[in-house]
Structure 1
């Protein structure tokens, strides 16, 4: 019976049931131990399974993608288009966030008592994130370039946080395969091509438990947010409701206005079809808050449902999961100005332009995992002279907002991928193509 229900519907059911279960646990004042000990681990297993294949997927798909481009000129052209498009959408996202937060000024309505309680409650978390941000800030200007080159590729492959190093190695290896004789390159390319197919098949297996994993993640999230004092948690969420709604409104603008406009300008793909094809990846992004964990499903949907060629998707999407964070950057713009408003600080136009620049640069190489946005935000706050302790003001709803902004991150990656494919003539007639029933598991 369950197999007849489309995957995205199963995931929605899992989300809703998880939410309902979590609320029942809170309202009936049941002990959270059962949820945390027996339900949350299912969600953890699901996320770990997706992360397990993230590095080999990026490595194999990028090597195959680059080596299949045929020549370095084409690689340079696609690479230039990809990075340019990612930078453009990131700048647009931050700008949208800044315009909204300046017009509606949510920080000025935050009660002083609430502000003080939040600062006190999250003091330890702020200290921990501040130390991580301080390490990043102490870097020399070229440190990011230095860290992009792994001293041990096997060590980098053992850490999902070193994804940019894997991307670098894969691109270099792909270029090298273009330069050596075909007779020697072909077996290597065939190996990674086979590995890529195997990983995509494993994705299908992992997605069989997606509805249960999503249920567990949502149920445990609700119980964790409530903590020992459910009423207090609800009060804090209501106090920050205006800020949260503003972030969500900005993210929705990206999804319903900015991305459709970009698709209309550069492709013939109807956004309704695009959105429908990407739905399983978006729902997974929402439940996991990780664009890296969602990458296998994003690639699968973009190739099988939208019709983007494998050589484009295997280059553009892994790169996007590493350097493109539209939703996160939009949230940074809103959060930075909100914190400044709440603390009674006025930001000049120069400082707000600094937010655009810092958020855009900070997004490059930031791990696509839950919570990475907070470390980026601290770097942004320091760049404009806003006390980093102000981070405490927005920590309460952050986990929920992280889910929404990850959806935008993934949608932005897929949009750019579709545009690049269209401009390269790698999108059949610019239209959605039907998934191959033998390879697709989106309706399983």
Structure 2
């Protein structure tokens, strides 16, 4: 399938999801609560269709994480992990950490989902009576048996193992020994092929999304009525405030710290920002981002490495989204989050961001694994709140994708300037 055909298919799917959202919400509010069809309530008939959609997403979550993380982390050649690579990866790690903290802070201030009463939330929480210590959380990241962690769906250990495996695979692919290199390439091709297979499965699952969204929206609006609209607007506004802070404070501060005019950066980064906003694809925007980097005076030797890596591992907008949406679901369902939960959200978001590039529906899948990592089972009321987010995910995705490519460009600027390779004449032109 060509990229143009795929974009048209994605657009049609987006329209169907939005239509399903509107129809589900409207019918949910118009029909009385506990509307009966014979001896059976309409809600009980429709609910399984929404539950099926959530189960399908959970089915593909672990395979997507494994394939994407291994391919993503093994795609970076160790030969390139010198000064340029080290600076780029450090920049991505620091700004991603800042981004998730901004997302959680904005959610704490604006409290999206607070006041939206979704009952039976206690059934969706699976936590031990005694919360583990911070040290235990860090220790538990390293699995004693990775296959056991995969079977149990323990997200952080899975991510850690896949990163170790991926980096080890990258070194083997870079080996001078032809036997090792060929074997490693075979393993890489296997996981790359598995990734493509899983992307197809994701596309098939997303074809069912309009039905699932309709069911989930009908249930929530039939129970909560018009109050749900305010909550969805609140979560959207909260996300975009967080994204604006990341651009106008963090990235402009980076430019100022290396002695560059932030307004020049904001002016020259507009083409990839707008392209990403419309297409909702970091990879699809990569040629535009590279062209903008050229116009900024960044040499190809820098942006040719930093930008493709950033499209794989740098997800600042997505991490802000994860913080905001996790808080929305917790608030809507009345689930208290502890300090350890926030720490787990931060660590999981940073690690998981490495494997999200190019995955259709990546934001929704990542949100699932964040919820699972803090012990929140996606069922009952949590599934309803999750469905509400999915219903407006296209609006949220436009902002977070635009942020992702802006962060990539900021990293390229930072690396080029600190390496004294930025063409200042071209920058100021």
TMscore range, shorter length: 0.5 to 0.7
CA distance in 2 between counterparts of 1:423 and 1:74 reads 10
* Pairing 1:248–2:245 present: no
Matches of residues 239-318 of structure 1 in structure 2 within 5 Å?
239-256=227-244, 258-259=246-247, 266=255, 269-277=268-276, 279-280=278-279, 282=280, 298=282, 300-301=283-284, 303-307=286-290, 311-312=305-306, 315-316=309-310
Shift of 1:328: 1.9
- Which residue in 2 is equivalent to 1:82? 92
Of 78, 96, 99, the match for 1:67: 78
Shift of 1:12: 2.9
Contact 2:273–2:403, Cα closer than 8 Å, also in 1: no
Shift of 1:83: 1.3
- Which residue in 1 is equivalent to 2:358? none
CA distance in 1 between counterparts of 2:163 and 2:48 reads 36
Q: Which range moves more in the overlay, 244-253 or 38-47? A: 38-47
**Secondary structure at the residue paired with 2:141?**
helix
Contact 1:50–1:206, Cα closer than 8 Å, also in 2: no
1:366-420 per-residue CA deviation (whole Å, 9 max, x = no partner) reads 79545344456778xxxxxxxx9xx998874442225539736655554434433
- Which residue in 2 is equivalent to 1:11? 10
Shift of 1:84: 0.9
- Which residue in 2 is equivalent to 1:442? none
CA distance in 1 between counterparts of 2:50 and 2:331 reads 38
- Which residue in 1 is equivalent to 2:296? none
Shift of 1:147: 3.0
Contact 2:50–2:215, Cα closer than 8 Å, also in 1: no
- Which residue in 1 is equivalent to 2:142? 148
Of 96, 103, 108, the match for 1:93: 103
CA distance in 2 between counterparts of 1:304 and 1:48 reads 33
Gaps of 5+ in 1: 283-296, 344-350, 380-387, 431-444
- TM-score norm. by structure 2 comes to 0.61
Shift of 1:91: 1.6
Residues 197 and 429 of structure 1: is their aligned pair in 2 closer, same or farther, counting only changes over 3 Å? farther
- Which residue in 1 is equivalent to 2:323? 329
Matches of residues 113-128 of structure 1 in structure 2 within 5 Å?
115=117, 118-119=118-119, 122-123=120-121, 126-128=122-124
- Which residue in 2 is equivalent to 1:55? 66
- TM-score norm. by structure 1 comes to 0.59
CA distance in 1 between counterparts of 2:410 and 2:138 reads 28
CA distance in 2 between counterparts of 1:127 and 1:246 reads 25
Residues 36 and 92 of structure 1: is their aligned pair in 2 closer, same or farther, counting only changes over 3 Å? closer
Contact 2:243–2:320, Cα closer than 8 Å, also in 1: no
Contact 2:326–2:367, Cα closer than 8 Å, also in 1: no
CA distance in 2 between counterparts of 1:154 and 1:259 reads 41
Gaps of 5+ in 2: 32-36, 256-264, 294-302, 354-364, 424-429
